Amino acid sequence: MAIELNYDPILETLRRDLPTLFERDIAYDIYTRDIFFKDPVNQFKGKLNYRIIFWTLRFHGGLFFSDLHFDLHDVRVEQDFVIRADWTVRGTLRLPWRPPLLFNGYSLYTLNQAGQIYDHRDTWDRSPQAILRQFWPHTDENSLP
């Protein structure tokens, strides 16, 4: 017998939480205690660690950026038990030359049969190194001595 999930509460929570994740905490009741998270620079398990990563994003976002935004483009059921969120992170680093930050990505959230997210994996459109290179002033190689 196939299990029929009601995705609406989870979709609504993600649509509400994600655009403001750099400003305020998210709701954690849609995630399992042993949630697994992976992105190009982090990998861990457990709701406490999950809470810490979002706290860290808010703390460092406020510390290092004069503005920082999580633009949510779409949240949808990708397939049974999987929700996909497409997004862009953009901001301005607190440096005298005000370098911009911009990268796109998507999150895949896998749900268990109880309708809770137990797996969250982020994919970025460029490497972490390419993202960091955005912060340094670009030098025209033709103008080098």
Tell me the pLDDT tens digit for each residue of 35-58. 999 999 999 999 999 999 999 999
Confidence class for position 104, pLDDT limits 50, 70, 90: very high
Distance CA 89, CA 137 (A): 20
Mean pLDDT of 59-87: 97
Confidence class for position 143, pLDDT limits 50, 70, 90: very low
Single pTM value for the model: 0.91
The H-assigned helical ranges of the chain are 8-17, 47-64, 128-133
Question: CA–CA distance from 40 to each of 49, 97, 122 (Å)?
Answer: 16, 27, 7
Confidence class for position 144, pLDDT limits 50, 70, 90: very low
Indicate the fold that domain 8-24+32-135 takes in CATH: Nuclear Transport Factor 2; Chain: A, (3.10.450)
Confidence class for position 1, pLDDT limits 50, 70, 90: low
Distance CA 66, CA 98 (A): 9
Cα 66 to the center of its chain, rounded Å: 19
Confidence class for position 136, pLDDT limits 50, 70, 90: confident
Distance CA 36, CA 31 (A): 10
Question: CA–CA distance from 75 to each of 40, 65, 92, 132, 137 (Å)?
Answer: 21, 26, 25, 27, 35
Q: What is the pLDDT of residues 9-34, one digit of tens each?
A: 999 999 999 999 999 999 999 999 99
Sign of the CA dihedral 87, 20, 17, 109?
positive
Q: 3-class DSSP state for residue 131?
A: helix
pLDDT over 90 percentage in the chain: 88
Mean pLDDT of 103-116: 97
Closest CA to 10 of 89, 118, 88: 118
